[in-house]
Amino acid sequence: MRRSTRGWHMSEVRAAAAAALPGQRVPEMLGPRFLPGGAFVRRLGRRGTLIAGGGMLAAILLASVFAAQITPYDPIAQNLRNTLQPPGLAHPFGTDNFGRDVFSRVLHAARTDIQIGFFCVLFPWLLGSLLGAVAGYLGGLVDTVVMRTVDTFMAFPFLIMAIGVIAVLGPGVTSMYVALTLSGWSMYARIVRAEVLVARRSDYVLAARAMGYSDARIVLRHILPNVVTPTIIFAVTSMVLVILATVTLSFLGLGLPPPTPTWGTMIAEGRNFIFTAWWMVTLPGLAIVVTGLALSLLGDGVADLLRGESSR
């Protein structure tokens, strides 16, 4: 018999607990869901989508970091004698109405867009998880207020909410973060609350309470680490939707002001030239498709990995 539970699969841990405590209800979750490294790394090898998605994303990030080395053109400098050139050897993605190299702009935009996308996943996840955990743990009036607020926020279409918030705050990156946080947090709150309602009655929370720990410490240090996996699964699978939403908001003119290149604003600028310069619309969009594909493969891969670890 193995002495340490290090590297065990959750199902093995639970089976062992059931064997050791016959006739007793084995708690749904025994402890931290994140098992130490070994099992995680071993599974990596089997996950093709994860590697493909991660590789694609790494390539995009590298290309944007080394954009200045890859293409000789400045993404902002105008060259009015060289406007609306079709794709060719000198300019693989052509030039725009100000004579700027579209390929260079696409590469430089990647950094901005991916950064915005990242924080627009992170902030709602933090806010929603925290509010959901507090609501589930405290129950009563707090729970009612938080959950009715969740219902309200869920009633608004995601984009309408975001557009409304940006309408109030004015276009810009900060407004975008606030808008996507406000329109995205509710799902996380709902997921975490449901998990906390179960975890609250578990033995390890009882033990922590018996130790005399404060509510804040129990929620932050004991419950949250154990209920966080489903929210991470939701976060990674919604990454692609979030980045598409931020790009859409930029396209509608609600993101960064020109001349800073972002994929959405580039396509919006290209709209006026669809009769003469299709490359201004189509080629920046390809960058979004590749990024979206990378994120959705990566998200599915990570979600599968985490599901494998937590379920069954």
Partner 1 sequence: MSLPTFVLRRLLQLVPVLFGVVLVVFLFVRLIPGDPALVMLGAYATEAGLTALRNDLGLDRPVWTQFAIFAGQVLSGELGQSLVFRRPVLEVIVDRLPPTVWLTVYAVVLSLLLCVPLAIACALKPNGTLDQAIRAVTTLALAMPYFWLGLNLLILFAVILPIFPVAGYGDTFAERLWHLFLPALTIALHLGPTLMRTLRATIIEVMQAPHVEFARTKGLPRGKLIRRHVLRNGLMATVTILGVNIGWLMGGSVVIENVFNIPGLGTLIIGSIDARDYPVIQGVALVFGLLVISINLVTDLAYAALDPRVAYE
* Contact residues: partner 1, CB under 8 A: 148-149, 151-153, 155-161, 163-168, 240, 244, 247-248, 251-254, 264, 267, 270-271, 274-275, 278, 281-282, 285, 288-289, 291-293, 295-296
Nearer to partner 1, 135 or 295 (CB): 295
CB of 182 to partner 1, least distance (A): 9
Between CA 265 and CA 260 the distance in angstroms is 9
Minimum Å distance from CB 11 to partner 1? 25
* DSSP per residue, 196-261: HHHHTTSHHHHHHHHTT--HHHIIIIIIHHHHHHHHHHHHHHHHHHHHHHHHHHHHTT-SSPTTS-
Minimum CB separation of residue 240 from partner 1 in Å reads 6
Report the nearest approach of partner 1 to the CB of residue 160 (Å).
5
Nearer to partner 1, 102 or 161 (CB): 161
Residue with tokens 């098992």, as numbered in its chain? 35
Cβ proximity to partner 1, 300 vs 309, nearer residue:
300
> Distance (Å, rounded) from C-alpha 47 to C-alpha 50?
5
Nearer to partner 1 (CB atom), residue 103 or residue 251:
251
How far apart are the C-alpha atoms of 80 and 17, rounded to whole Å? 73
Q: Based on the number of CB atoms within 10 Å of its own CB, is 4 exposed (0-12), middle (13-18) or buried (19 or more)?
A: exposed
Closer to partner 1 by Cβ: residue 227 or 280: 280
Least distance between partner 1 and beta carbon 4 (Å)? 40
Task: Give the residue with the Cβ less far from partner 1, 227 or 288.
Answer: 288
C-alpha–C-alpha distance, residues 163 and 91, integer Å:
35
Largest Cα span, the chain: 83
The DSSP letter of residue 273 is G
CB of 22 to partner 1, least distance (A): 34
